[in-house]
Amino acid sequence: MSTEQFTKTPAEYFKTPDLVKIAIIGLGYVGLPLAIEFAKKYDVLGFDINPDRVDELSKGEDRTREAHIGDLNKVIASRKNGATGLCFSANKSSLSDYNIFIVTVPTPINQFKSPDLTPLLKASAMLGGFLKQDDIVIYESTVYPGCTEDDCVPVLEEASGLKFNQNFYVGYSPERINPGDKVNTLTTIKKVTSGSTPAIAEVVNHLYQSIITAGTHKAPSLKVAEASKAIENAQRDVNISFVNELALIFDRLGIDTNDVLDAAGTKWNFLKYKPGLVGGHCIGVDPYYLAHKAESLGYHPEVILSGRRVNDNMGFFVANKVIKLLINKGHKILGAKALILGITFKENCPDIRNTKVVDIYSELKQFGMDVDIYDPWADKMEVKREYDLDLLANIEHSYDAIILTVAHEEFHSIDFKKLTNNNTIIFDTKAFLERSMVDGRL
Catalytic residues: 282
| Nearest residue to 427 via CA among 323, 275, 272, 310 | 323
CA-CA distance, 34 to 16, in Å (whole number)?
21
Angle value at C-alpha 156, between 152 and 162, nearest 5 degrees: 140
CA-CA distance, 100 to 134, in Å (whole number)?
9
Give the SS3 label for residue 218.
strand
CA-CA distance, 292 to 147, in Å (whole number)?
11
Task: Kindly write down the DSSP assignment for every residue of 96-132, as one continuous string.
Answer: GG-SEEEE-----B-TTS-B--HHHHHHHHHHHTT--
Adjacent-strand bridge partners of 32: none
Residue pair 239/273 in contact by the 8 Å Cβ criterion = yes
Report in angstroms the alpha-carbon separations of 326 from 147, 158, 361, 399. 48, 60, 16, 11
Note the residue count of the chain. 442
Task: Kindly write down the DSSP assignment for every residue of 369-424, as one continuous string.
Answer: -EEEEE-SSS-HHHHHHHH--PPPSS--S--SEEEE-S--GGGGG--GGGT--TT-
CA-CA distance, 85 to 191, in Å (whole number)?
22
Determine the number of helices (DSSP H) and then strands (DSSP E) in the chain. Answer: 15, 13
φ, ψ for residue 22, nearest 5 deg:
-110, 130
